[in-house]
Structure 1
Amino acid sequence: MKKALLILSIMFMTMSYAQEIKQVPQISVNGEGKVKVVPDQVTILATIETKGNNAKDVKKQNDEKMEAVLRFIKKMNLDPADYKTQRVSLNPQYDYEKKKHNYNATQTIEILLKDLSKYDELMEGLVDEGINRIDNVIFQSSKLEQYQSEARKLAMKEAKLKAEDYVSVLGQKVGRAMTISDNSQTYYPQPIRYAAMKTMEVSDATAPRETLAVGEINITSNVSVSFILE
């Protein structure tokens, strides 16, 4: 009997405690923080693509062009840690009309350029030395973590300001935060005004010269916050 009374007593206390928690007045709001930054570096994905009837010759031509590209990059005095081969491929392609195999060789190099004043020179040189495809150009900031921290703080400030606006007409005050959830998306640096380059085919004879208009990038943070009302 005593055991049953003890169990009932614990259940009653648990239910009372749960009800007490549920009855705590609170407000839940979202906040967004946004920091606009002028990029100070750029990542370039550049590819050499070579086609032909003989696999060995196609690979050799592709390798020779990439060697020339790497020599040019070294002359640009880039840090060796700032460029690397991203992928290499040699694939057969069957021509059903001619009933024979052709071969397609590609090499892609990823370059991190930390001095944007060298951008035009680098892009022109890459094309001149054999690059015939620019796969991607991404402008970014070297101080990303610093700006992400600023964006998070701004998001929290906006959330609190929203909560204060809502309860200001109720004669209540915003108290301490009960829960905080980070809803930020993974940051993928993209320029705003820059004309984003999709995969672009170029030839040595008509190689376009890129112009630079980096604009700004947005670094954003989003939070959900529940505040106690006093």
Structure 2
Amino acid sequence: MSISAWAKKPSRVLVITVAGLLVAAVSGCDSAPAGPVAGPDGPVPRQVTVVGEGKVEGTPDTVTVNAAIESLAPDATAAMNQTNERMTAVIDAVAGQGIDRKDISTTQVNLQPQYGENSTINGYQASNSIAVKIRDINAASPTITAIQTTGGNATRINSVSFAIEDDSQMVKDARARAFNDAKDRAQQYAELSGLDLGTVISISEVGAATPPPTPMPRYDAAEAMSVPLSPGQQTVGFSVTVVWELG
């Protein structure tokens, strides 16, 4: 054997040996179970983060009416007196519709000067606002009509909002639906990745936004009539973010 041939022989043996190690390493990766991912501070558990949605609908059983009386007069005292007189009559008319006085609350009292030319005060505007909580949907329309007819053209119906007095069970149902939705999604991801769904690491939720009050137009007392109202359906919803371990 020549010196040249002998020098090349170890190289062939070395190449064959390295190739054999690579095959063994690939084979070992295929058969080893999934484990934690290596991180700078040690093993990091495999995780899946999902967002679940849950909604439940219910029929509102209460109505809140926000109304105001506004008056203009040459002086502040006259403006306040006119407003107070009409608001007292409005509150009595609301109570006359069977509304408990404890469900009638003052929300704002305001007095503002009115300016004319050269920034001179030429009068005052006084306002008194109330919130009326109506616990019988059927009494809402007659109550609004009573407010309007009693207050006359000084009346402002600012908003009408519907609500469910006790929505605690709806909240529980919506929360459960959100979590179950998140779990179904996580289980699907675990199956798609060939892993098992483990324990919950964290849960965070966001409640659904409250529907805004419905604005109401101003009515002329001479044309006052029954106000058509439809409570529709109110939705209680949650969005929940859940993190699971994967094994």
Distance, in Å, in 2 between the alignment partners of 1:160 and 1:197 is: 40
Asked if residue 54 in structure 1 is aligned to residue 75 in structure 2, the reply is yes
Q: Which residue of 1 aligns with 2:140?
A: 119
Deviation at 1:89, TM superposition (A): 1.0
Deviation at 1:92, TM superposition (A): 0.7
5+ residue gaps, structure 1, are: 1-14
Q: Runs of at least 4 residues of structure 1 off by over 6 A?
A: none
Asked if residue 226 in structure 1 is aligned to residue 243 in structure 2, the reply is yes
Say whether the 8 Å CA contact 2:142–2:227 is kept in structure 1: no
Q: Which residue of 2 aligns with 1:139?
A: 162
Deviation at 1:176, TM superposition (A): 1.4
Q: How many residues align?
A: 208
Distance, in Å, in 2 between the alignment partners of 1:164 and 1:127 is: 57
5+ residue gaps, structure 2, are: 1-37
Q: Which residue of 1 aligns with 2:85?
A: 64
Deviation at 1:86, TM superposition (A): 0.7
Q: Which residue of 2 aligns with 1:12?
A: none
From the CA coordinates, give the structure whose radius of gyration is larger.
2
* RMSD over aligned Cα atoms: 2.2
Distance, in Å, in 1 between the alignment partners of 2:40 and 2:101 is: 63
Say whether the 8 Å CA contact 1:50–1:58 is kept in structure 2: yes
Q: Which residue of 2 aligns with 1:6?
A: none
Distance of aligned partners of 1:96 and 1:207 in 2 relative to their CA distance in 1, 3 Å threshold: farther
Q: Counterpart of 1:19 in structure 2: which amino acid? A: G
Asked if residue 105 in structure 1 is aligned to residue 123 in structure 2, the reply is no
Say whether the 8 Å CA contact 1:140–1:189 is kept in structure 2: no
Q: Which residue of 2 aligns with 1:3?
A: none
Deviation at 1:184, TM superposition (A): 2.7
Q: Which residue of 1 aligns with 2:227?
A: 210
Deviation at 1:49, TM superposition (A): 0.9
Distance, in Å, in 2 between the alignment partners of 1:55 and 1:208 is: 33
Q: Which residue of 2 aligns with 1:183?
A: 206
Write out per-residue CA displacement over residues 101-132 of structure 1, whole angstroms, 9 at most, x where no aligned residue. Answer: 21111010101111001111111101011061
Overall identity of the aligned pairs, in %: 28
Q: Of 95, 102, 113, which residue of structure 2 is paired with 1:81?
A: 102
Distance, in Å, in 1 between the alignment partners of 2:145 and 2:39 is: 74
Deviation at 1:26, TM superposition (A): 1.3
TM-score normalised by structure 1 residue count: 0.82
Q: SS at the partner of 2:158?
A: strand
TM-score normalised by structure 2 residue count: 0.77
Q: Which residue of 1 aligns with 2:184?
A: 161
Distance, in Å, in 1 between the alignment partners of 2:206 and 2:164 is: 22
Deviation at 1:17, TM superposition (A): 9.7
Write out per-residue CA displacement over residues 160-215 of structure 1, whole angstroms, 9 at most, x where no aligned residue. Answer: 01111222223322221101112335x42458xxxx325x3332123353101111
Q: Counterpart of 1:79 in structure 2: which amino acid? A: D
Bigger mean CA deviation after superposition, 96-105 or 34-43: 96-105
Q: Which residue of 2 aligns with 1:197?
A: 215
Asked if residue 170 in structure 1 is aligned to residue 193 in structure 2, the reply is yes
Q: Counterpart of 2:52 in structure 1: which amino acid? A: G
Deviation at 1:145, TM superposition (A): 2.6
Q: Counterpart of 1:184 in structure 2: which amino acid? A: G
